A and B are shown apart, each in its own frame.
Chain A
Amino acid sequence: MLIHLKGGHIVDPVNGRDETGDLWIENDRIVAAPPGKLADEVHDVSGKTVMAGAIDIHSHIAGGNVNCARLLLPEKHQNWLPNPVALPFSTAKWSTFETGTIYASMGFTTVIEPAIVPHQALQAHLELSDIPIIDKGMLTVLGNDDFLLSLLRDGEGPAAVADYVASAVAASNGLGVKCINAGGATAFKYNARTFSLDDVVPFYDLTSRQIVEALQRAVEDLKIPHPLHLHANNLGIPGNVATALATIEAARGERLHFAHLQFYSYGAEGGHGFSSAAAELAAAVNAAPNVTIDVGQVMFRQTVTVSADVLRQFNGSEMASPKKSVIHDGDGDGGGIVPYFYRENDFANAVQWACGLELFMLIDDPWRIFFTTDHPNGAPFTTYPEIFALIMSRDARAEATARLPQEAVAMTTLPSIAREYNLNEIAIMTRAAPAKLLGLKDRGHLGEGGLADIAVYSPGKDLAKMFRFAHLVFKDGDLVVRDGRGTHYRWGNALKVNPGYDKAIDRRLAGYYDHHFGNSRDLFTVKEHLLPRADAFREVACAR
């Protein structure tokens, strides 16, 4: 099948294109214009914007914690719309089927679930398998697991740690490594109620900093493309910018991805003891080229916070709205599910909203800042179109800011910022840079040989509408969305890495599981034949 996209505005920062031109697709790949051949299908896309499919690096779309949130809040996602025949379950709110369908309709073709503990990996992959259309992947959570902490306590050295990390990633079919409040979930089991970078995990005599450093090193040693993905300590607390700055410093110039930075950009100034420190934090990020961040933008509405930072979630459960929550002390990391309503007229929520936008605006390099709401923690991913409008339009921001409590606005620098993202910067932040960050060479660009994951938008005054309803979306060269509506399901892959390691660690782990847990480690290994479709995975090379 040869497809010709004719006369669109091509925005492809990787190949330096920001111009009117054509694009050719043959089967699942982008190809050069084939001389003398006629296309099987021609789409006149003149006046439209053509970009690679967008990539979301941090969105909680699967796993035991997410599913628990679904079951916790049946009253918040009642249905009313029958699904189109071609898309079963696609109108079932918050179902995996809806997730894939909505992401695709916004032009997203790859989404990464960032927080799966190894013992929940099979369920996570079963869920990912039922997300249609898009490709997905998940990050393996380590950093509160007894085996790792024991290795570090016993001074076993980086090689043993790297072998263990590689084995855990391989068994869970992860695309990278995430660390969530390193040591915090464990400290909480010993009744700690606060936990910071240099606090010591009882029983192991290790600081959070030491755990992060060890995991950071293991990821580098294993040549996993994605740097350590860190959810730092002290999320959501007034004055936690100090922790964020110390964490950036603690990376010592080594690569680090700092997740949902908005939740760490708080000062403790002013009458409410709560202020934006986003400008200071953005400056620190600008000065640390080794650090990438994603924003975790807050938007005003009902949502639910879903996090393996069980200590933080327990502390936050007093603020649950509606008043119910689940706190799970898991094997290693656990989880907390706390519903929350961000209100436009709430001082703290307004500051949080502004903090996210300040980070978007004040971090200079679109290759190092990523577009997220930490779905669903800051807001559901369905709010992305509104956020695109906010960062692309100073007027849209001014209008939204005018509705907020002005004493909250005064605690931020937002009104002074004039910057507006252009389409090229949007394409970097949501396409090119995520592909680079995750090591996905086959996507994020529109060059020859690239995967034909393509989003075509209808530009217009209403930026949110432009990004909510993509005009056309191709996944692997297959036209899956027309005028913002899914046309049919196809089934993508879960992307994973398979770092090499000394298999001796597997024998050791087998013994550890038998002795400690009294069950076989093999129970937790994700076996492809237990998933509903063959070829569930696509491997991403470990090399940089």
Chain B
Amino acid sequence: MGEARINGKPVSLAAAAERAAEILSQARMPVIAGLGTDAAGARASILLAEKLRGAYDHMHSTRIFADLDVMRQAGLMVTTPNEARLRADVFLFIGKDLTKDWPAMMERLSPAKIPPFDLVHEPRKLLWIAPGRGGAKGEGLVETLDSSDLHATLASLRARAAGRAVNCAKGTLRKLDEFAGVLKNARFGVAVWGGDGLDSLSIEMLHGLIRDLNKTTRFSGLPLGAGANASGVVQTSGWMTGFPVRTSFGRGFPEHDTWRFDATRMIESGEADTALWISAYGPEAPPWRKNIPLVALASPQTVFAWEPQVCVEIGCPGIDHDGAEFARETGSIVGSLASHRSQAPSVADVVSQISKHLGETPKC
């Protein structure tokens, strides 16, 4: 059973919800941050943000917008883990954090297996750019290309794939050409990227490479995205408001701005004066360095820099309770059933209880 505390002292969930509502309703500009929660929790939180005329953000926004900003500037070509697993004859991995980010990636994509949907029955070709130390080990024959500057490496690779000249050392050029040759000869290649090492510029260059390759063959992308149901929260936000996270209801309608509604920036600059922190997938603590009134819906064992005014321990979707969430394994929102069902409340439960103290509103 999850615990609830007011100023560090145990209270009932009902008392915690009432106090949380009081704190949030007194705010001039509240912000809902973290948002590590399932679709129901995200939905309840966005409804609450609208009621409070506050803003909301996700703890992994930097990564979310690394991909999303490329999509809405230039577009994307993407596929699913299932298609990658069953069809890709070439994998192009990029970055050193892939398996750290997604420990089950190799098992899920089975790069060492012959892809059953490929017309030609032969082992896949595996390429890895900037694999770091652990990345490319033990997964069949992996050709690697180290990089100290991903922007330059990806730009050079794209240039070589397009038959253009690049200015670099002979050994590097040979390697680039070898990679470009494999990419151009792919039947259905898949580029897999993720981690903090890739910024929007790298991803946009990669997208340009994928578009170029599709002039003659098929190639697609598989961004690993971020954890804590980041994609699921973005999707939920998308249909409810038209926008992803970093959206505010301050003016009575949703406005989206990745700089203005960055929760940490808002809090540290003094623009937001109260926070509701939500983290159901793990004991993540708020990242800001300013002590403002805080309501936290957090995993047990979370260590806070300052004790929140109100803290409710919540369950994890797919473990303590059922939930709809974005699954990296499938690239879609799926139903995750509780593996160890418990009495710990869900984010949606607690947020709805808080919301009830904020006056009658239309049923949504």
Residues on A close to B: CB < 8 A? 62, 64, 67, 70-74, 77-83, 85-89, 91-97, 119-120, 122-123, 126-127, 130, 132, 146, 188-191, 202-203, 314, 317, 320, 324-331, 334, 488-489, 491, 516-519, 522-527, 529-530, 532
B83 surroundings in chain A (CB, below 8 A): 189, 329-331
Q: Is the interface of A mostly helix, strand, loop or mixed?
A: loop
CA distance in complex: A208, B83 (Å): 21
Chain B positions 200 through 237: 1 when the CB is less than 8 Å from some CB of chain A, otherwise 0:
00000000000000100110100000000000001110
- Interchain CB contact under 8 A, B240 and A96: yes
Q: Out of B43, B256, B330, name the residue touching A119 (CB < 8 Å).
A: B330
B329 surroundings in chain A (CB, below 8 A): 519, 523
Q: Out of A127, A146, A327, A517, name the residue touching B77 (CB < 8 Å).
A: A327
Given contacts A146-B117, A519-B329, whether A70 and B238 have CB atoms under 8 Å apart is yes
Q: Out of B77, B86, B239, B335, name the residue touching A530 (CB < 8 Å).
A: B335
- Interchain CB contact under 8 A, A328 and B239: no
A516 surroundings in chain B (CB, below 8 A): 82, 86, 116
User: Which residue of B51, B74, B334 has the most chain A CB atoms within 10 A of its CB atom?
Assistant: B334
Task: Return B317 CB to nearest CB of chain A, in Å.
Answer: 10
Residues on B close to A: CB < 8 A? 39-40, 43, 47, 50-51, 68, 71-80, 82-83, 85-87, 107-108, 110, 116-117, 119, 187-188, 214, 217-218, 220, 234-236, 238-244, 251-256, 322-324, 327, 329-330, 332-337, 361-364
A326 surroundings in chain B (CB, below 8 A): 71, 75-78
Q: Out of B87, B238, B333, name the residue touching A71 (CB < 8 Å).
A: B238
Given contacts A130-B239, A188-B218, whether A91 and B253 have CB atoms under 8 Å apart is yes
- Interchain CB contact under 8 A, A89 and B240: yes
User: Which residue of B107, B119, B364 has the most chain A CB atoms within 10 A of its CB atom?
Assistant: B364
Given contacts A130-B239, A488-B362, whether A190 and B71 have CB atoms under 8 Å apart is no
- Please name the 5 residue pairs, one residue from A and one from B, whose CB atoms are nearest each other, closest first: A82-B252, A523-B334, A324-B75, A79-B253, A329-B79
CA distance in complex: A73, B75 (Å): 10
- Interchain CB contact under 8 A, A122 and B241: no
Given contacts A83-B253, A489-B362, A525-B335, whether A67 and B238 have CB atoms under 8 Å apart is yes
B188 surroundings in chain A (CB, below 8 A): 189-191
- Interchain CB contact under 8 A, B242 and A93: yes
- Interchain CB contact under 8 A, B253 and A82: yes
Given contacts A203-B119, A325-B75, whether A64 and B332 have CB atoms under 8 Å apart is yes
CA distance in complex: A82, B336 (Å): 36
Given contacts A126-B39, A329-B80, A532-B40, whether A523 and B330 have CB atoms under 8 Å apart is yes
Given contacts A326-B71, A523-B327, A527-B335, whether A191 and B242 have CB atoms under 8 Å apart is no
- Interchain CB contact under 8 A, B79 and A80: no
- Interchain CB contact under 8 A, B330 and A92: no
- Interchain CB contact under 8 A, A122 and B333: yes
- Interchain CB contact under 8 A, A77 and B47: no
- Interchain CB contact under 8 A, A324 and B73: yes
CA distance in complex: A484, B191 (Å): 50
- Interchain CB contact under 8 A, B324 and A92: no
A92 surroundings in chain B (CB, below 8 A): 240-242, 253-254
Q: Is the interface of B mostly helix, strand, loop or mixed?
A: mixed
Please, which residue of chain A has its CB at the minimum distance from the CB of B104? A518
Task: Return A489 CB to nearest CB of chain B, in Å.
Answer: 5
User: Which residue of A320, A330, A527 has the most chain B CB atoms within 10 A of its CB atom?
Assistant: A330
> How many contacting A-B pairs (Cβ < 8 A)?
193
CA distance in complex: A119, B329 (Å): 12
- Interchain CB contact under 8 A, B72 and A517: no
Please, which residue of chain B has its CB at the minimum distance from the CB of A524? B334
- Interchain CB contact under 8 A, B333 and A518: no
Given contacts A89-B50, A330-B83, whether A95 and B364 have CB atoms under 8 Å apart is no
Please, which residue of chain B has its CB at the minimum distance from the CB of A529? B322
> Could you list some 28 contacts between A and B, CB below 8 A?
A70-B243, A74-B72, A79-B253, A82-B252, A82-B253, A88-B362, A89-B364, A91-B253, A92-B242, A93-B242, A95-B254, A96-B240, A97-B240, A119-B332, A122-B334, A127-B239, A130-B43, A146-B117, A190-B218, A329-B78, A330-B83, A489-B364, A517-B330, A519-B329, A525-B335, A530-B40, A530-B322, A532-B40
Task: Return A319 CB to nearest CB of chain B, in Å.
Answer: 13
Q: Add 5 more A-B contacts to A203-B119, A327-B220, A523-B335 (CB < 8 A).
A: A72-B72, A94-B242, A97-B364, A120-B332, A530-B322
Please, which residue of chain B has its CB at the minimum distance from the CB of A317? B75
CA distance in complex: A488, B362 (Å): 8
B361 surroundings in chain A (CB, below 8 A): 85, 88
CA distance in complex: A94, B239 (Å): 8
Task: Return B61 CB to nearest CB of chain A, in Å.
Answer: 14
CA distance in complex: A446, B218 (Å): 53
CA distance in complex: A331, B222 (Å): 13
- Interchain CB contact under 8 A, B71 and A71: yes
Task: Return B330 CB to nearest CB of chain A, in Å.
Answer: 6
- Interchain CB contact under 8 A, A71 and B68: yes
Please, which residue of chain B has its CB at the minimum distance from the CB of A81? B253
CA distance in complex: A119, B335 (Å): 11
Please, which residue of chain A has its CB at the minimum distance from the CB of B216? A191
- Interchain CB contact under 8 A, A71 and B79: no
A202 surroundings in chain B (CB, below 8 A): 119
A526 surroundings in chain B (CB, below 8 A): 335
CA distance in complex: A317, B77 (Å): 11
A334 surroundings in chain B (CB, below 8 A): 79
Q: Out of B110, B239, B252, name the residue touching A95 (CB < 8 Å).
A: B239
Given contacts A67-B235, A122-B333, whether A324 and B362 have CB atoms under 8 Å apart is no
Task: Return B124 CB to nearest CB of chain A, in Å.
Answer: 15
B73 surroundings in chain A (CB, below 8 A): 324
Given contacts A191-B218, A523-B327, whether A71 and B234 have CB atoms under 8 Å apart is yes
B85 surroundings in chain A (CB, below 8 A): 517-518
Please, which residue of chain B has its CB at the minimum distance from the CB of A93? B242
- Interchain CB contact under 8 A, B333 and A328: no
- Interchain CB contact under 8 A, A82 and B72: no
- Interchain CB contact under 8 A, A191 and B324: no
Given contacts A64-B332, A95-B240, A203-B117, whether A79 and B75 have CB atoms under 8 Å apart is no
- Interchain CB contact under 8 A, B75 and A85: no
Please, which residue of chain B has its CB at the minimum distance from the CB of A99? B239
Task: Return A195 CB to nearest CB of chain B, in Å.
Answer: 14
B87 surroundings in chain A (CB, below 8 A): 189
A87 surroundings in chain B (CB, below 8 A): 362
B254 surroundings in chain A (CB, below 8 A): 79, 89, 92, 95
Task: Return A140 CB to nearest CB of chain B, in Å.
Answer: 15
CA distance in complex: A66, B318 (Å): 27
- Interchain CB contact under 8 A, A532 and B86: no
A88 surroundings in chain B (CB, below 8 A): 47, 50-51, 361-362, 364
Given contacts A328-B79, A518-B108, A523-B330, whether A314 and B255 have CB atoms under 8 Å apart is no
A530 surroundings in chain B (CB, below 8 A): 39-40, 322-324, 335
